[in-house]
Structure 1
Amino acid sequence: MQAQKKQITLEDIWGGTFRTEGLEALRSTKDGQHYTVLNQDRDRQVAAIDKYDYRTRQQVGTLLRTDPARGIPYFTGYTFSEDENKVLIATQVEPIYRRSRLGVYYVYDLQQEQLTQISERKIQEPTLSPDGSKVAYVDQNNLYVLHLESGELLQVTEDGQPNAIINGVTDWVYEEEFAFVRAFEWNARGDKLAYLRFDERDVPEFSMDVYGSDLYPFPHQFKYPKAGEANAVVSLHIHDLDSGQTRDVDLGEAYYIPRLQWMHHPDHLSVQTLNRHQNRLRLHRVDAASLETTLLLEETDAAYVDVTDNLTFLPDDRFIWTSEKDGYNHIYLHDTDGAELRQLTSGPWEVTAYYGYDADEGRIYFQSTAEGSILRDIYSVSDRGRGLKRLSQGTGTHQATFSADFSYFIDSFSNVDTPSVYTLHDASDGEQLAELQNNRELLGRLEGFEMAPKEFGTLEVNGYELNMYMIRPADFDPEKKYPLFMFQYSGPGSQQVANRWHGSNDYWHQMLASEGYIIACVDGRGTGLKGRDFKKITQKELGKYEVEDQIAAAKLLSERPYIDPDRTGIWGWSYGGFMSSNCILKGNETFELAIAVAPVTSWRFYDTIYTERYMQTPQENPGGYDENSPLFFADRLKGDYLLVHGSADDNVHVQNTMRMIEALVQANKPFEWAIYPDKNHGIYGGNTRLHLYNKMTRFVLENL
């Protein structure tokens, strides 16, 4: 007789029972034959950068280790200089926003065995010059350069001021939406720094109360441009270290400057600019000697053009570019003057990650959905666009980390049945050379728990074939009727239905399945990986087609004999909370319950870059903003609705939830709500997640 399996508990999920092991901070060395890993013992506050041989997987040395006797502190991050003679280490790191960090940083000279503290203060984004002789960094919105040998400190800018002028790092909205913080770059010779300056004096200020533990709360104030409001005025500057001169670069009508990258030529800087609508992207070459700018490429789209990190300059400054212009995201090769030489990949599938170019072999490495939109595989193709090779084996999600010379790659693989496995491969043909790490112990642990399979399929909705997964109770009986609980995110270009290992929400869904719920997730129109037209159909109407698809999917699923059409719920976080709110209001005949965590309730409250990319401004498109805002449909609420937010959410402000509460109160509608004090968009810290999921679990069990 089989032993009774345990049900998953929230304490298991948030207590680390199902945590997977990974390879931490792995870097290939320049020779391509070795890699380094940051090995940490957090309890003992000891860190080491250990070096391994790719071929033998044997440790061949320790490059740096915490050693209080020698003044080497515990560190949590590292980067090498280009010649690998120096290593920059991060200590006492604290987050500012999603990507920005403050920390105390040191440079360790591996040959001289000498440690240099960059600054007594906590600084941002320290970056070694290519020859390792200098380090540039930002301190209190100003850019500095430290000469490591002489100790001479050069202050490049002097006008930095909180909530006014920023030099060398990005403002809040660039960090969040263009996904970068460091806004300065060294040229190849290390004698010039290109940097961005943000003048945010005209940007409206957002203030949120921090309750803390003192007698009085205090306001946290920062510049946050909401849709239609003024953005920071961003300008490009080049500082010449030899002359000490800083010069301004005229880029014409450059509303946004989302990327800077020096070319191999030490005087040639590439700069990407966007108009406010983000539907015209230009790639410029700036000559740092003459300040002459040349337009290399212009890309336009009726909706918007995505900004990526895929631009790669080949040794002769021809370049690789990715574009959706043929209807799917693919790789193109361009000449030094910007002319398109050839399209290197094509087909009704997407390139999802670009890994790099091997100049010796003339091959390009990338990840794509060629095997199916819910899968990821690793490929190579020649720079002539020939000889496409699949390098990964096994159905699921593959991610690669290549050695510097592209002779090896480490594949991180998972699927719905396999937690992350790390394997070493020959990059020429994908042959597996060794297994580096697996999570079989976790699989063994899960044997003792009740787990129902996640079943993938498609659903024909509104004329489109939508990807779907479903989790049915382990003791599923087709003669019974089960409540349906749907999960989605639905934001532009996103994907929830993917063949990969479980996240924490998957375990929560398993727990609910054990309680007799059927869980379903449907990626509707507007989500990603199915081509440009499918993704961009929601342009100027966020929340229209996505909501129609969730309502239609719920109705279709409710026709199945084992689903109770009178017990249908939906939940989501952030964009998913915006969606679940709209679904229970506009789909009040279909949904009996909704949970919205940290939802947008009006796109008028969200930031310029994200919102205007998809909606243009509220002044241009008022109907698009208001006709799909749950604030205007509060009087339609019939079912059970739970609204949750963190009071210190710098991203989707708690204002969204407060306005939704007021709309529901004035419509005299009963609902449940919870505010988590001083918690950001992630709503975590201590027992916070456990408390939140306990609350959501009770809400589902009592009302669905």
Structure 2
Amino acid sequence: MRKLFLMCAALLISATTALAGNDLSLKDITSGKFAPKGIGSITALDDGETYAQVSKDGKKVVRYSFRTGKQTDVLFDVNNTIGQKIESFEDYIMSPDGTKMLIQTNSHKIYRRSFTADFYIYTIASRKLEKLSDNGAQQTPVWSPDGKQIAFVRDNNIFLVKLLYDNAESQVTKDGKKNELINGIPDWVNEEEFGFNTAMTFNGDGSMICWIKYDEKDVREYSLQMFKGEYPEHKEYAAYPGLYSYKYPKAGEKNSTVAVYSYDIKSHQTRKLQVPLDADGYIPRIVATKDAEKIIVYTFNRHQSDLRLYAVNPRSTVAKMLIQEKNAKYVQEEAMANIKITDSHILLPSDRDGFMQLYLYSINGSLVKKITTGKHDVTDVYGYDEKTGNTYYQAAGKDPMNREVYVTAKNGKTECLTKRDGWSSASFSKGFKYFVNIWSDRNTPFEYSMCDKNGKRIAMVNDNSELKTKLKEYNLPQKEFFTFTTSEGVKLNGIMVKPHNFDASKKYPVIMWQYSGPGSQQVTNSWAVGSMGNGCLYDGYLADRGFILVCVDGRGTGGRGEEFMKCTYLKLGDLESKDQVETALYLGTLPYVDKNNIGIWGWSFGGFNTLMSMSEGRNVFKAGVSVAPPTDWRFYDTVYTERYMRTPQENPAGYDTNPIKRAAGLSGSLLICHGLADDNVHPQNAYEYTEALIQADKDFRMNIYTNRNHSIYGGNTRNHLLRQIADFFVEKMK
């Protein structure tokens, strides 16, 4: 009897062991072991039936069928070229006529979107590969409409290569100079905050080049101290550190002055275009049209409350205003970036009626109609079909946590093309006959499927089955949405991550994560959810250590209309921190939460709001971690800060609502982490804040990361950073 019992017990233990999952390790999370496989950026080809994409091994550009998702042709192969030979490449740019491509190699990152590279011209039919230029690396090459010319930027000047003249290279501008004058590419702040890296285009027939010139001579410099380091190693700084100096306009300071120019390729004449612009205004885009006598130039006033689109003749230099979009607070940058210009129309997103909706204008600026309606936000724009009058877009149609792809027909009828709950986006074929649907939810890694124009799936391209199988071996956390109402009557959405072995009879410490910046969202039904994305895997790692993890999108975040998002205008950090404190107070009422053991952390704006929340006055946080935080908006750049705050001269009280001013009110244990080469949120923010803490006699801990930028990565850096965050919370809250 005893022997039988021992045998049964052994079998039970064996079965339990087999069923038990593995705990998540930090090394696995940061090593990329759980990174989902994507399909990369795709280029829809002109036939409307196929698209091009870099192969999985990174050696080819392959043509695929939209209808089947299967390979139909190899357009480029590094091992099968005539002429020049390369071993690898990073990206490509297809010519407008589809007969050639530019192959990008040897890329070197500058800022978030800018880089230099060595480009090669590749002719598909002949397999001939030849250098674009022998005179140094290039930036942002642009094809002419007929594919016979290429313009690019080198050392802040524009150059032109003519393919029909044996790739003859000529220099278009000669006044470009580092930290003084820039032609054809944006300066740091325009690149970072208006989200683009090229400020140059050919006109409709390729007879002229048009570009934005940035005069940054009067913009003040910021210098980052660089050290030898180890990954990578900068031997030139072995004994003495060096300085990286660049132009960075802080809130209220001078920006670059901007203007638009054209160059007549045949006559070599350069003209300044007469675009109306305030002396301190912005030009966030320059776009060609089919009409050789018309380019479209976007302008913003400094407050970014008045967006204008001008049709400009590059020969006569005359400008005519087409559309003016004004807002009492600000025009969203995302709305500007999502404007679509077709042969005959301009599709404009606007929140003028309280929610982001789409408005159709003629190419001459006359309002045709409002296309979308409803109490929800359009969140991405895919295009307008001139042939059918259909408009394709993404929206938060069901609720703020989900996204769907929609089509609104010419007659106003709207159809949802992606009906599954979760987060859907799309990449359409030319002519809108097919689209790639990228879908995920909080429990399912990204799936890529081919769909027809009605949303019917016709082929699965990548369902990340390997990752799904791998994840089944691990103890994954429970992820649940919830809502609650604050003491001010504001309903907020949240997500809670519980340990896989959650016991409702116990009381758990809680770690809150958040970003909280204007228009952002972290409470999403997407695999991108989580403090570090990737389906909350890092948060699951923390849950394995005995925590509940929580994120709440407070006031100022996106997906809920203009009023909810813009209520933080002129006072960043005030309402956002109140809502995080209210979240902690709400969580403290739950029977399984230890109300005396609640922590908070965030990165960038989330780091700022961590500090604001810990010094809000209601001392609810036992510990917090602030990574790369702005600590006084006077230290941050003009474009972003003034969009939401105006200038310090206009709004001193708003700027004084900051962590430095609140330092004496800090409550709870604090860890600050910052990269010393952060070109975005300068180390100055951390240095000045810690000085304020010292003078207020507040204890804190600080980790610095040598030569690391705002993303704090490279070598073992990210693993180290996330371990510090986890260990700090364990030390202070367990």
Fold-level match, TM-score > 0.5?
yes
Within 2, Cα distance between the matches of 1:383 and 1:180?
Answer: 31
Task: State how 1:478-627 maps to structure 2 within 5 Å.
Answer: 478-502=504-528, 504-505=532-533, 506-587=536-617, 589-626=619-656
For 2:402, the equivalent position in structure 1 comes to: 375
Is residue 90 from structure 1 mapped to residue 104 from structure 2 by the alignment? Answer: yes
Aligned residues of 1:588 and 1:639 also touching (Cα < 8 A): no
Matched pairs, number:
696
**How far 1:361 moved relative to its partner?**
2.1
Within 2, Cα distance between the matches of 1:116 and 1:636?
Answer: 63
Is residue 143 from structure 1 mapped to residue 158 from structure 2 by the alignment? Answer: yes
Secondary structure of the 2:692 match is helix
Within 1, Cα distance between the matches of 2:729 and 2:649?
Answer: 39
Within 2, Cα distance between the matches of 1:656 and 1:107?
Answer: 45
Aligned residues of 1:588 and 1:637 also touching (Cα < 8 A): no
**How far 1:40 moved relative to its partner?**
4.4
Aligned residues of 2:611 and 2:666 also touching (Cα < 8 A): no
- String of CA shifts for 1:192-225, please: whole Å, max 9, x gaps: 1110100000000000111024222110000000
Task: State how 1:356-435 maps to structure 2 within 5 Å.
Answer: 356-384=383-411, 386-427=412-453, 429-435=454-460
Within 2, Cα distance between the matches of 1:52 and 1:607?
Answer: 43
Within 2, Cα distance between the matches of 1:657 and 1:558?
Answer: 31
- String of CA shifts for 1:575-609, please: whole Å, max 9, x gaps: 00000011112245211111000000000000000
Secondary structure of the 1:516 match is coil
Is residue 59 from structure 1 mapped to residue 74 from structure 2 by the alignment? Answer: no
**How far 1:68 moved relative to its partner?**
7.7
For 1:171, the equivalent position in structure 2 comes to: 187
Within 2, Cα distance between the matches of 1:587 and 1:508?
Answer: 30
Within 1, Cα distance between the matches of 2:385 and 2:449?
Answer: 21
**How far 1:360 moved relative to its partner?**
2.3
For 2:126, the equivalent position in structure 1 comes to: 112
Within 1, Cα distance between the matches of 2:353 and 2:635?
Answer: 34
Secondary structure of the 1:91 match is strand
User: Structure 1 residues 314, 638: closer, same or farther in 2, change over 3 A?
Assistant: closer
Is residue 217 from structure 1 mapped to residue 223 from structure 2 by the alignment? Answer: no
- TM-score, scaled to structure 1: 0.97
Is residue 436 from structure 1 mapped to residue 448 from structure 2 by the alignment? Answer: no
**How far 1:6 moved relative to its partner?**
1.4
For 2:205, the equivalent position in structure 1 comes to: 189
Within 2, Cα distance between the matches of 1:647 and 1:623?
Answer: 29
**How far 1:306 moved relative to its partner?**
1.9
Is residue 5 from structure 1 mapped to residue 21 from structure 2 by the alignment? Answer: yes
| RMSD of aligned residue pairs (Cα, Å) | 1.4
For 2:9, the equivalent position in structure 1 comes to: none
Secondary structure of the 1:277 match is coil
For 1:124, the equivalent position in structure 2 comes to: 139
**How far 1:337 moved relative to its partner?**
3.2
Secondary structure of the 2:381 match is strand
User: Structure 1 residues 57, 297: closer, same or farther in 2, change over 3 A?
Assistant: closer
For 2:173, the equivalent position in structure 1 comes to: 157
Greater alpha carbon shift after TM alignment, 69-78 vs 394-403:
69-78
For 2:480, the equivalent position in structure 1 comes to: 455
Within 1, Cα distance between the matches of 2:28 and 2:598?
Answer: 27
Within 2, Cα distance between the matches of 1:444 and 1:336?
Answer: 51
**How far 1:476 moved relative to its partner?**
1.8
Residue type of the alignment partner of 1:313 = I
- String of CA shifts for 1:502-527, please: whole Å, max 9, x gaps: 55452111111122111110000000
Residue type of the alignment partner of 1:478 = A
Within 1, Cα distance between the matches of 2:85 and 2:45?
Answer: 22
Within 2, Cα distance between the matches of 1:500 and 1:653?
Answer: 31
- String of CA shifts for 1:377-400, please: whole Å, max 9, x gaps: 01111234x121111131100110
- String of CA shifts for 1:441-493, please: whole Å, max 9, x gaps: 21211112111221012121222211100012222222211111101000000
Within 1, Cα distance between the matches of 2:431 and 2:289?
Answer: 19
Residue type of the alignment partner of 1:580 = T
**How far 1:69 moved relative to its partner?**
7.2
Within 2, Cα distance between the matches of 1:313 and 1:563?
Answer: 52
Greater alpha carbon shift after TM alignment, 675-684 vs 461-470:
461-470
Aligned residues of 2:68 and 2:458 also touching (Cα < 8 A): no
Task: State how 1:309-388 maps to structure 2 within 5 Å.
Answer: 309-315=337-343, 317-384=344-411, 386-388=412-414
Secondary structure of the 2:388 match is coil
**How far 1:638 moved relative to its partner?**
3.2
Aligned residues of 2:604 and 2:629 also touching (Cα < 8 A): yes
Within 2, Cα distance between the matches of 1:275 and 1:25?
Answer: 33
Secondary structure of the 1:630 match is coil
Within 2, Cα distance between the matches of 1:544 and 1:294?
Answer: 41
Is residue 284 from structure 1 mapped to residue 313 from structure 2 by the alignment? Answer: no
Is residue 675 from structure 1 mapped to residue 704 from structure 2 by the alignment? Answer: yes
For 2:3, the equivalent position in structure 1 comes to: none
Residue type of the alignment partner of 1:393 = K
- String of CA shifts for 1:624-662, please: whole Å, max 9, x gaps: 001x21111222233110000000000000000011111
Secondary structure of the 2:727 match is helix
Residue type of the alignment partner of 1:130 = P
Greater alpha carbon shift after TM alignment, 503-512 vs 443-452:
503-512
For 1:239, the equivalent position in structure 2 comes to: 263
- Show structure 1 runs of 5+ residues with no match: none
For 1:697, the equivalent position in structure 2 comes to: 726
Task: State how 1:460-475 maps to structure 2 within 5 Å.
Answer: 460-461=485-486, 462-475=488-501
After TM superposition, what 4+ stretches of structure 1 lie above 6 angstroms from structure 2? none
Within 1, Cα distance between the matches of 2:455 and 2:85?
Answer: 40
Residue type of the alignment partner of 2:107 = V
- TM-score, scaled to structure 2: 0.93
Aligned residues of 1:47 and 1:76 also touching (Cα < 8 A): no
Residue type of the alignment partner of 2:431 = D
For 1:200, the equivalent position in structure 2 comes to: 216
Aligned residues of 1:116 and 1:148 also touching (Cα < 8 A): no
Aligned residues of 2:307 and 2:324 also touching (Cα < 8 A): yes
Structure 1 vs Structure 2: percent identity of aligned residues?
39
Within 1, Cα distance between the matches of 2:264 and 2:603?
Answer: 47
Within 2, Cα distance between the matches of 1:16 and 1:278?
Answer: 39
| 1:306 counterpart (332, 336, 339) | 332
Within 2, Cα distance between the matches of 1:396 and 1:525?
Answer: 23
| 1:72 counterpart (75, 80, 85) | 85
**How far 1:320 moved relative to its partner?**
1.3
Residue type of the alignment partner of 1:528 = G
Residue type of the alignment partner of 1:253 = L
Greater alpha carbon shift after TM alignment, 138-147 vs 256-265:
256-265
For 1:18, the equivalent position in structure 2 comes to: 34
Secondary structure of the 1:586 match is coil
